[in-house]
Amino acid sequence: MRVLMLAPGYPAEMPLFTRGLARVGAEVWGLGDSAEGALPEIARRALAGYVRVPSLWDEHAVLDRIADLHRQVRFERIECLWEPGMLLAARLREELGVEGLGMEATLRFRDKEKMKQALDAAGLRTPRHARAASDEDIRAAATRIGYPLIVKPIAGAGSQDTYRVDGPVQLEEIVGRVRHVPEVSVEEYVEGEEFTFDTICANGRILYHNVAWYRPKPLIGRSIEWISPQTVTLRDPDHERLRVGRELGAGVLRALGFRSGFTHMEWFLTPRGEAVFGEIAARPPGARSVDLMNFASDIDVYVGWAEAVCHGAFTQPVTRKYNSAVVFKRAQGQGRIRRIEGLERLLRAIGPWVAAVELLPVGAPRRNWRQTLISDGFLIVRHPDLEALLEIADRVGTDLQMYAE
């Protein structure tokens, strides 16, 4: 099978997905706007060919270039797992007659209002919601929906430009903050714990699923600097308590007509045990969440996805051995990392349960924590017992400190 992979070298997980395609026997061609020599070595080795274009965002030029190539090599699949490139991939599929998500289906995964309208029509529980393109639209939606509420971009990814609003005075402040966003979704604030439902599908069947738990909810973790946010992949995603979320997720995939590939859904479990939809993307989760899935079962989900989209199967045995967690660290202070405290002591205490350590080195500039969940680095830990895993993860949050100046 010949596969065109958009952006095979970025973000950080994409080279691993590109390698996954090659490992299941695909002939992989890359499409990007960086030099082939600048691609990570993992991606370069997996590629049979590479098409460099001046800009991935010049849609007409990309279409012309790939249409010419397609007449020679005939792509059977066009894949993109990077949110900004998904509409381009959909356009290429439609123009070239390649199977997969087209523009209309992709828009339902990109546009949060279209997404929720489709789910409302299917009778699935979504927050009360409205589209808003102006200050007055936001105010009118807030009046209809009531407080507390959430304001977030219609087409955003992650928690950037996402705000909880508790009343009219705060709303005016948030209206000013989101004026640079072309359209926002104004939604009911849902009280409850926040989980994911991640799937790999082939031909409309769920072949692999994962449930992760956000500690704390992303809206809180992305708002308070001193917090060390955690994503926890659960060893028992089939627990009865989570059944309502799994059922919701399966219904969402049916309602949106998803067939093959990776999906990442976020949902809320309310104190009453109700599952409420958050949002869904036709791509994997970022911020090392796929690595958490691998560490939980000692498998290669990157290869599993490739096998599903190329061959309609997921043949790796999924024996869930561990709960796994990634803990993101944020340095105190501004400027460059000057010291890291507590790491050696922590590794002596919890070393057998540490799966990965990736922290910025001393001397590196501190990252903007508001723009990247990865922040100044992370530790991945795992343990068979959930309570023990949470204690270990919390210890990473408190005992490991980074300082910048």
Burial 361-400 (b: 16+ CB within 10 A, else e): eeeeebbebeeebbbbbbbbbbbeebeebbebbebbbeeb
Q: How far is CA 21 from CA 43, 106, 118, in A?
A: 10, 22, 32
Fold of 128-188: Dna Ligase; domain 1 (3.30.1490)
Residue among 12, 54, 371 nearest 222 (CA): 371
pLDDT at 224: 94
Place of tokens 């051995």: 321
How far apart are alpha carbons 405 and 343 in whole angstroms? 19
Burial class (CB in 10 A: 0-12, 13-18, 19+), 119: buried
**Distance linking the first and last C-alpha atoms of the chain:** 52
**Torsions phi, psi for 373 (to 5 deg):** -65, -30
| Measured distance CA(325)–CA(118) in Å, rounded | 33
160-163 LR contacts (CB < 8 Å, sep 24+): 160/222, 160/370, 160/371, 162/218, 162/219, 162/222
> What pLDDT score was predicted for residue 156?
66
Task: Identify the pLDDT of residue 158.
Answer: 60
Please say whether the beta carbons of 3 and 75 come within 8 A. Answer: yes
Q: What is the mean pLDDT of each run of 10 residues along the chain (405 residues)?
A: 97 97 98 96 98 96 96 96 96 96 96 94 96 94 95 78 92 93 94 97 98 95 94 98 98 97 98 96 97 98 98 96 98 97 97 98 96 95 98 98 98
**Concatenated DSSP letters for 235-251?**
S-TT-GGGHHHHHHHHH
Domain at 102-115+192-321, CATH from 3.10.20.70, 3.60.10.10, 3.30.470.20, 3.30.450.20 = 3.30.470.20
Q: Is residue 9 within 8 Å of residue 40, measured between CB atoms?
A: yes
Report DSSP state, residue 272: T
What span, in angstroms and rounded, lies between the C-alpha atoms of 16 and 374?
Answer: 18
Q: Where are the beta strands (DSSP E) in 246-372?
A: 261-269, 275-281, 323-328, 337-341, 354-359
> Can you name the CATH fold of 2-100?
Rossmann fold (3.40.50)
Determine the Cα–Cα distance for residues 9 and 30; give it in Å rounded to an integer.
9
DSSP state for residue 333 in the 8-state scheme: S
